[in-house]
Amino acid sequence: MVFNSYIFILFFGFVLLLHHLPFSWKVKKLNLLLASYLFYALWNPPFIVLLWFSTLVDYLVGLALYKEKNAWKRKSLLLVSLVANLGLLGFFKYGGFLLDNFIQLLSIAGITYQPPQMDIILPVGISFYTFQTLSYTLDVYWKKTPPEKSLLDFSLFVTFFPQLVAGPIVRPDGLIPQFKQPVQATKDQLLWGLFLLSLGLFMKVGLADGMLAVPADTVFGAKESLVLLDAWMGVLAFSMQIFFDFGGYSTCAIGVALCLGFTLPDNFRYPYAAIGFSDFWQRWHITLSTWLRDYLYIPLGGNRNGHARTYLNLMLTMVLGGLWHGAAWTFVVWGAMHGLFLCVERLLKEWLHNPSQLRTTAEPALAGNMVSKSSFIPTVKLPKLGVNFSLALLTFFLVNVTWVFFRAPDFATAGRLLVSMFNLASEGNPVLSYMEILKVSVLTILVLFCHWYMRNRSLISIASRNSWWMLTLVLSAMLILLILTQKSTNSFIYFQF
C-alpha cells in the first residue's frame, strides 16, 4: 500500500475512525498494530513473518540483556540480535550482489561457476525497520534505555505503519514513550497533519512523478552521449525528483502520525541550501545520518583517535551508508564520494583553524541538538552572505555530480553521462523537449530559492503567520493538482532500499 493511492485514503480514514472511537487505550494500540500489519502485508503477505521474527528476537534479547550481568553473555546476546537482523538484511538485500561478485572473481581466476538461479525478492522497508530494531538492542546493551516490557508497545514501535517502509528511522526513546499514555490528536494537530499529508502527496504526485520523472528517466535511460544541456537537465531533474519523492514520503509519514496524535522526527531541512557536505547531512535524511553517526561512526572511534583514523572512520561510515542504499557498486561510489568530500571539507577547516582546538571542540558538537548532532564534523560559520551562497551553489553542484552514480544503473551509463555533462564528448543527441527543459529549469530555480529562504526557518512558523483562508487556498490548490495529475500509483523511490 502506498500513500499516493485511493485505497490508502480509505484505509487511513478507517484507522482514524477507530482511533477516535471510545475504546480503551490498549484496544486502540491493538488496532494500530493490526492496521500496520495489514499495511505491510498488502505488499507481500509472507514477509510479515520477517517482521514478527525481528520483533520477537529483539524483544527477547532486550529483556535478557537487562537481566544479564556477565559481560561475555551480554556480548553473546547482542551478537544474536546482530546476526539475526543483519543476516536477514544481508541475505535478502545483498545475497544476489555477493553471489554475482563471487562468480566474477572466479571467472577472473579462470573458473567457470554457474550456481542455481536465486530469485530473491527484496522485502520492502527491510533496511529501515532493521536499523530501527537494531537501535533498540544497541541502546539496551549500552544501557542508554531500559528494555521494553510490553510486547504490544515494542511490536508497535517496530511496525508503526506511517514510517514502517521508508522512515523516518525512529529511536526507541522517541516513539515507545508515546505509546504509554492515551494519545489523540487535537484539532490543530489533525488539521496540520492533514496539511502535511496533502503537501507530501503533492510533492510526490504533482512534482516528483508529474513533472520530473520523465526527463530524469529519459536522460538516465539514454544509450548514447547527450548534449551538455540535456545531460544537466536530466541530472537536475533527478536531483529534484528524489528530494520531492523521499521528502514527500517523510512529510506524509509525519502528517499521518500527527493525525493520530504521534510525533515523528524531521527527516529533511531544505538540503539544497546546505553550505558544505557536513551541513548537507544535517539536512538530508537526518534520521539515517544520525543513526550512522551514533551506531557506526562514534563506535568506530569518531574523531577521538587522531586525524588519520578520523578520515578512515568518515570514509567507512559513508561507504557503508552508500551500500545501505542499494546492493550495487554505484552506491558504494556514491557513498565514497560523500566521504571524500567530507574529508576534504575537514582538511580545509583544519587548515583554516587551529587543529588542537578543532580536536577538542569536535566531539561536543556531536552531542548538541538535533541539527548539530547530525553532522560528522563541526560546521564553520562563514561571515558573508555572498560567500555562503556561493558555497551553497558549489555544494549543490557537487551533490548533483554524486547523484549521477546514485541514479545510474551501471558505471557505463554514469561515465557516459558525466562525459556529456562536462562537454568532453565531441557531439551528443538531444533527447529532451524544450518544454521539459523549461519545467526542470524553472522548478530547480524555485526550489533553490525556497530552500535558501527557508534555510533557518520552519514550515510551521511560516504557516502560523498566514491567515486561515490563505492556507485553505494553498491546500485546495494542491488537492486540485493532485486530482489532475493522479494517473498511477508509482512507488516511492526509497521503497527499493
Contacts of 185 (CB under 8 A, 6+ apart): 193, 258, 259, 260, 261
Of 33, 4, 496, which Cα lies nearest the Cα of 249? 4
Which member of 19, 325, 338, 451 is catalytic?
325
Which are the contacts of 399, defined by CB distance < 8 A and separation ≥ 6? 239, 272, 274, 277, 280
Torsion of CA 210, 213, 218, 222, to 10 degrees: -170
Residue showing cell 475512525:
17
Which amino acid appears at position 361 of this protein? T
Which residue, among 350, 355, 346, has the nearest Cα to 318 in the 3D structure? Answer: 346
Q: Distance (Å, rounded) from C-alpha 345 to C-alpha 245?
A: 28
Give the orientation angle of helix 48-67 with respect to helix 126-141, to 10 degrees.
10
Cβ-based neighbours of 303, under 8 Å, separated by 6 or more: 310, 313, 359, 362, 363, 377
Whether 338 is a known active-site residue: answer no
Could you count the other beta carbons within 10 Å of the beta carbon of residue 378?
20
Task: Provide the grid cell at 199.
Answer: 503537501
Please list the helix, strand and coil fractions of the chain in percent, rounded to the nearest 5, in that order: 70, 0, 30
Q: What is the Cα 490 distance to its own chain's centre?
A: 18
Show which residues are catalytic: 325
